[in-house]
Structure 1
Amino acid sequence: MMKLTKFNLVSIILVILVILTVTGRIFSAPNLSDYSWILVFPLFAYLYYSQTKQTNHYFGFFLIGFSLVEILKIVFYGNDTMAYYVANYLVIATYTSLIIFLVKDFNFKLLFKQFKLHLVVLLFFNAYIIYVLNQMIMQDAQLSVYSLDFIIEVTYNVLILLVLSLSLIHYLYHETKQGLLLFLASVCIVFSEMVQVAYLFISSEYLLQIVYSALIGVGFYFLYEYIKIKYKATLKTTKIA
């Protein structure tokens, strides 16, 4: 029988919240999905900071930043302009923090020596994807080139692609299960952001909203598994001590 620790209890609550979120998305109950979803990210942050010993504040800010973004969407509901700017500035800061976390322990001389081909391929891949995303953004007739909104969207797209590329390099550099989980999480989160761009600027198809929710949900499942590894390592350390 599974011992009901704080980690397990929070995990059960997370599963319930995700089920409620998906149910709300499928059956067009935004209040149910939105209010369930805003509780998911604070619980991730709680698990990371209270249940693990080896924490990093850059990664922690990434979790906390996402928590605040979802809460601000509710706080500024009805004020689309304020919600847009505050949420986007915070997300940009959040992704920047995650990028710092991914590169902070790189030996760049060794990195360029071992992964020169990978870096060149990723550079061209990212350039193409950014071009495609910008073409999607420009479908919005109200968005003019070089306006503040355009710069925010381009910066946002560059950062999410950097997260994807650097998470891959981070995994290849370290070759650990934790690195793999971070990469898989990044893949899901980045593609969810791409789907969201298509939803916002090209087509408001209901299916795109479902795909977005599914991808970001799977992405944060991988983050949960990443935190779970940290938690198990903490338990082993505690038992040895």
Structure 2
Amino acid sequence: MLVNKFLKIVLLLLGVSYIILQGFVLEIEGDAVSAVAFILLTWLYMGWTKHKSKLFILFLVSFTAAQVLGFLAWFRSIPVEGQTDYLYYIVNILSIISYVLLITKMFIHLDFKTVFSELTVPIIILVILDVFCVTLISGTTENAFNYSEYALEFTYNAVVMILLSFALINYMYRNNYKSMLFLLGSIFIVFSEIIQLAYYYILSDDANLGYIYSFFLVVAFIFYYLQSQHIVSEPTPAYTDDPIEGQALN
């Protein structure tokens, strides 16, 4: 129990340090802190969570691997022009896989017959918004990538938006505390990814974006960890103003 509390304090300090380092554009140091923090977070979840999810463990492992490789990338030989940066693809593919695992975790617990019957209109609206947002966001960085890099970034953005859409559908379907925490985590993940994209490829001279996207990332994983401590439960009936069925009439 003491180790559990100690790890949480260390993770909180590492999170604050990561935000400060990214804000001061100390990216190597920030990536080092991020890699250590995610290793400890994975250890914390696996060692002190009562009801573990295999998919959530795989999510943490995949995301942590991406962070570790992202840090190690600073010490590789910089690829010359025209040479494929394989590490860039590996890091991004690992991140995509991690988000797909989160989507899968929600997917397997949804009753799609009920979801489609009750949430048909919201689902259609979400699909339209996803297509619009992914196209718009990816289009802003089209000139910064070659074809294969752009295809990877487009896929990355699409998966992140699908994650948010599933989190929203999951919350509307379940209407409980766990799904609310998961939705909040996904919202902050999307904001973090969008701002990070702007920071690296559009407004690279705006150091304030470093503070913002790193803060959103830390907050997102706080919510993800908190929701992971709750088991998946049956949907909570939505509040209604209708009289209770069976109530005696005066």
TM-score class normalised by the smaller sequence = 0.7 to 0.9
**How far did 1:208 drift?**
1.7
**Whole-Å separation in 1 of the counterparts to 2:68 and 2:186:** 22
**Shift of residue 156, structure 1, vs aligned partner:** 0.5
Query: Does the aligned pair in 2 maintain the 1:25–1:210 contact within 8 Å?
Result: yes
Secondary structure at the aligned position of 2:191 is classed as: helix
Q: CA deviation at 1:211?
A: 1.3
Q: What is aligned with 2:108?
A: 104
Q: Give the aligned partner of residue 81 of structure 2.
A: none
Aligned length: 223
Pick one of 50, 54, 64 that aligns with 1:57.
Answer: 54
Which residue of structure 2 lines up, in the alignment, with residue 234 of structure 1?
A: none
Match of 1:76, SS state, is helix
The whole-number CA distance in structure 1 between the counterparts of 2:26 and 2:95 is 25
Stretches of structure 1 that go unaligned for 5 or more consecutive residues are: 231-241
Indicate yes or no: 2:168 matched with 1:135: no
Q: SS of the counterpart of 1:106?
A: coil
Distance in 1 between residues matched to 2:141 and 2:222, nearest whole Å:
29
Specify which structure has the higher proportion of helix.
1
Q: 2:141 and 2:26 mapped to 1: Cα distance?
A: 28
More displaced, 60-69 or 46-55? 46-55
Residues 57, 228 of structure 1: alpha-carbon distance in 2 compared, 3 angstrom cutoff: closer
Residue 9 of structure 1 aligns with which residue? 6
Residue 151 (1) aligns with residue 121 (2): no
Segment of structure 1 superposing worse, 27-36 or 182-191 = 27-36
Q: Which residue in 1 is equivalent to 2:130?
A: 126
Matches within 5 A, 1:4-83: 5-77=2-74, 78-79=76-77, 81-83=85-87
User: Partner residue of 2:93?
Assistant: 89
Deviation by residue 1:159-199 (Cα, 9 ceiling, x = unmatched):
00000000111111111211111110000011111112222
CA distance in 1, matches of 2:202, 2:25: 21
1:196 is matched with 196
CA distance in 1, matches of 2:24, 2:199: 18
2:227 alignment partner in structure 1: 226
Residue in structure 2 matched with residue 166 of structure 1 by the alignment: 166
Q: Runs of 5+ in structure 2 lacking a partner? A: 79-84, 232-250
Q: TM-score, normalised by structure 1?
A: 0.86
Aligned to 1:235: none
**Shift in Å at residue 115 of structure 1?**
0.7
Offset of residue 37 of structure 1: 1.3
2:240 maps to what in 1? none
Could you tell me how far 1:221 is from its partner in structure 2? 1.6
Partner Cα separation in structure 1 for residue 17 and residue 29 of structure 2: 7
SS in structure 2 of the partner of residue 153 of structure 1: helix
RMSD: 1.7
Corresponding position of 1:177? 177
Give distance in 1, aligned partners of 2:28 and 2:141: 28
* Secondary structure class of the residue paired with 2:224: helix
* TM-score normalized by the length of structure 2: 0.83
Equivalent position amino acid for 1:189 in 2? I
The AA in structure 2 aligned to 1:202 is I
